[in-house]
Amino acid sequence: QVIFRDFLAKGAFPKESDMEVTESTIEVTSAVAEGSKGVLVKNLYLSCDPYMRGRMRKLTDPAESYIPSFQPGSPVTGLGVARVLESGHPNFKKGDLVWGLTGWEEYSLLPAPETCFKIEHTDVPLSYYTGLLGMPGLTAYGGFIELCSPKKGETVFISAASGAVGQLVGQLAKLFGCYVVGSAGSKEKVDLLKNKLGFDEAFNYKEESNLDAALKRYFPEGIDIYFENVGGKTLDVVLLNMKLHGRIAVCGMISQYNLEQPEGVHNLMQLIAKRVRMEGFNVLDYYHLYPKFLEMVLPPTKEGRIVYIEDTVEGLESGPTALVGLFSGRNVGKQVVLVAHE
C-alpha cells in the first residue's frame, strides 16, 4: 500500500515523503458476498495525474472541490486498471478487467465501484486505460472536440503538449486537418512531438526568453484554438496572440497548483477585443460520451494512426516518486505505475 501521510500546506510542492509504502492485509469476508456490491480487485496499473495534488490539501469547505481529499493514514486513491478477483456486484464478475477509481495497493476492496468501467477491448495495451483510452484521453476529446469544435485548417496551440492529455489533443487536431504547435519542457519532448506525434511544430518553452515572439513566429496570423494545460504567464501571452473568434479550452493550470498565490493574468481584455470564448471544463462532464469517444479513438489507435507515449515505472514503491515528478516535468508521456503483470 501507499499511504498518504498528511495534508500539504498551500504553496507546498508535493514530495515523496508525503507518502509512505507499508504492508497490511485486507479482510475480504462478507464484503464481496452476493448482493453486497463489493468487489475485490488485483491492481495492474495505476495512473499518476496532476489533479491528485488537489487531493493532498485540507478542504475547509467541501464545496471547494468536486473530489474529496485523501485521508491522512489511508491509502492514496486514484485511477487504475484492475482484474476482478471476487464480486458481489451484479455488473462485474470474476475475471473482468476494469478501469476506474481504485487504491494504491496490490489488492483493493472497492465497496461499490460505480466509477469503474468494464474493459471491453483488450486488443490494445491495457495500460492505455490509464491514459489514451481512460480519463486523460476523454479529457482531450471533451475539451478539444466537444468544447472547441475544431475545423479543418484552423491553428491550434497546446501547452504541456507531450503529456497524457496534450499528446492526444495534438493528434486529434491533426486528424481534423488543423495546423498544430505544442510546447513542452525539454528537447526530448520537443523531438517526440515533431517526430513521433505528428505535430507540425514544437518548442521548448524553457528556452524561449520571449514567448510572445515565439508564438508570433509559429502563428503569424494568430491562434484559433488554445488547449490550456499550464496557466499563468503562458495563458497571458497566448491571450495576446488569439485570433478573432478564437476558443480557449481551459483544461488545467499545472504551473499554479503549487503556488501560494496564483499568478495574475493581465490580458483578459483580449477576450472582448477578439471575441474569444474561454471556457473551463471538467472531464466528468463528458463521461457519458465515453462510448462515442472510444468509437473515434479506438480504430485509429489499432491502425497505428494514433500513437501514445507512456512513461512506466515498476512497483508500487515507485509510485510516490512518479507522482511528484509530474510537477517538475520528469515524466515523458503518460505517467503509469505497473503494479502487477496480469
Residue 285 amino acid letter: D
Residues that bind ligand NDP (CB under 6 A): 49-51, 136, 139, 160, 162-166, 184-186, 189, 229-230, 251-255, 281-283, 326-327, 329, 331, 334
Minimum CB separation of residue 32 from ligand NDP in Å reads: 31
Residue found by looking up cell 519532448 in the block: 189
Considering the complex, state which of residue 239 and residue 283 has its C-beta at the smaller distance from ligand NDP: 283
Minimum CB separation of residue 317 from ligand NDP in Å reads: 21
Tell me the residue ranges of DSSP E strands in the chain. 2-4, 19-21, 39-47, 77-87, 97-103, 107-110, 117-118, 155-158, 179-184, 201-204, 223-228, 242-250, 277-280, 310-314, 334-338
Considering the complex, state which of residue 216 and residue 233 has its C-beta at the smaller distance from ligand NDP: 233
Considering the complex, state which of residue 160 and residue 214 has its C-beta at the smaller distance from ligand NDP: 160
Minimum CB separation of residue 124 from ligand NDP in Å reads: 19
Q: Pairing relation of β-strands 19-21 and 39-47? A: unpaired
Q: Helix, strand, or coil here: 237? A: helix
Question: Under a CB-based contact definition with an 8 Å cutoff, are residues 245 and 272 in contact?
Answer: no
Minimum CB separation of residue 276 from ligand NDP in Å reads: 19
Minimum CB separation of residue 136 from ligand NDP in Å reads: 5
Minimum CB separation of residue 303 from ligand NDP in Å reads: 23
Considering the complex, state which of residue 50 and residue 100 has its C-beta at the smaller distance from ligand NDP: 50
Count the Cβ atoms, other than its own, within 10 Å of residue 88.
Answer: 18
Considering the complex, state which of residue 86 and residue 201 has its C-beta at the smaller distance from ligand NDP: 201
**What cell numbers appear for 120 in the block?**
471491453
Count the Cβ atoms, other than its own, within 10 Å of residue 219.
Answer: 21
Considering the complex, state which of residue 87 and residue 167 has its C-beta at the smaller distance from ligand NDP: 167
